[in-house]
Amino acid sequence: METFTDYYAVLGVDVHASNDTIKAAFKKLALKFHPDVYNGKDAQERMRLILLAYQTLSDTDERRLYDKQHAQELGLELNGTGAARQFSSTPSGASNTRAGNDRRFAFPTLDTTSASTIDFVVEGFSYKLWPDDALLLKRNGTLHGIAPDAKQGGSHYCHRCHHRWTATAQDNMRCPRCKASDWAEYLLLRCAHCHAVFESREIRDTIRGNRPYFPYELFPLCPNCRRSQWCASENERVAVLRAANARRRTLLIIGSFVFLVVVVGVLFFITTLVH
């Protein structure tokens, strides 16, 4: 029997914490316990739990399911905002695939030998990839672009909050719902394990001067198979960062040793002069 994990305790937040609070707690813990920074033997497992906690509590449907299980496991009464929630009938271990054209991920066949486009729908938006784009997505696990004319079906589509609206000359620079200026940018991700294709829910990192995440949102998990280390580009990036950190540590050790030798030499020289 699988042991129940209190994700609220993992992130150190209250059961009624807002999405912003959960996100802030996750980023703080992720920056503290990322394996590139934290050298403990439990680094991978600790990061896996933090990732899973964030992915579960940041998704509205999955949080509703988890809150019900959380209350049952801890013998609590659902009250406040929890009592008003309508829990989904989807089993807690099932994939979060939404019906119709609103599904969260797709499984397109990325056939790069054909000259025709590859069409699929993710979260209500129809993607058309040419073979070269499909090859990049298949090889690297990421594909960043801007929707052609940022229009489909005569309306604008926001890739941050999935809102559609008919644009005018006055309001076509920002999404009228979430006010995002990068609403036309999309970032498709592909899992190397289950081959699910899904869209990054964030592109800009407000902590680092609103620059784009590289290559995607901070430490995500695949929403289908929930496994980490699923992106070739990210694995390569992490390997480069680890090698750079190892070089910095080596240079620091060498520099400290040289400094110590110089200090000892100076002290020895001064002592010799005094005597």
Question: Tell me, what's the pLDDT at 78?
Answer: 45
Would the pLDDT of 155 be above 50?
yes
C-alpha span between 243 and 251 (Å, rounded): 12
Question: Tell me, what's the pLDDT at 260?
Answer: 92
Q: Are 62 and 56 in contact (CB under 8 A)?
A: yes
Question: Tell me, what's the pLDDT at 211?
Answer: 59
pLDDT, tens only, 240-262: 777 888 888 899 999 999 999 99
Pick the more confident residue, 85 or 231: 231
Query: Which residues make Cβ contacts (< 8 Å) with residue 263, sequence separation at least 6?
Result: none
Query: Which residues make Cβ contacts (< 8 Å) with residue 173, sequence separation at least 6?
Result: 181
Please provide the CATH number assigned to the domain covering 7-82.
Answer: 1.10.287.110
Would the pLDDT of 149 be above 60?
no
pLDDT, tens only, 88-147: 323 333 344 444 445 788 899 887 777 788 889 888 888 888 888 888 898 888 888 888
Question: Tell me, what's the pLDDT at 214?
Answer: 52
> Model pTM?
0.53
- Between strands 155-157 and 164-165, the pairing is antiparallel
DSSP result, the chain: -PPP--HHHHHT--TT--HHHHHHHHHHHHHHH-TTT--STTHHHHHHHHHHHHHHHHSHHHHHHHHHHHHHHHTPPP-GGGTT-----S-TTS--PPSGGG-SEE-----TTSSS-EEEEETTEEEEE-HHHHHHHHHHSEEEEE-GGGEETTEEE-TTT--EE---TTTTTS-TTT--TTTTEEEEEE-TTT--EEE-S--EEGGGTTEEPSSSSSS---TTT--SS--HHHHHHHHHHHHHHHHHHHHHHHHHHHHHHHHHHHHHHHHHHH-
**What confidence category does residue 80 fall into, taking pLDDT thresholds of 50, 70 and 90?**
very low
**What confidence category does residue 87 fall into, taking pLDDT thresholds of 50, 70 and 90?**
very low
Mean pLDDT of 63-71: 83
Average pLDDT, the chain: 75
pLDDT, tens only, 172-227: 577 888 777 788 888 888 988 888 898 876 666 555 666 555 544 445 667 777 77
Question: Tell me, what's the pLDDT at 161?
Answer: 78
Torsion of CA 56, 59, 65, 70, to 10 degrees: 40
Question: Tell me, what's the pLDDT at 175?
Answer: 82
Mean pLDDT of 28-32: 85
**What confidence category does residue 20 fall into, taking pLDDT thresholds of 50, 70 and 90?**
confident
Q: What percent of the chain has pLDDT over 90?
A: 4
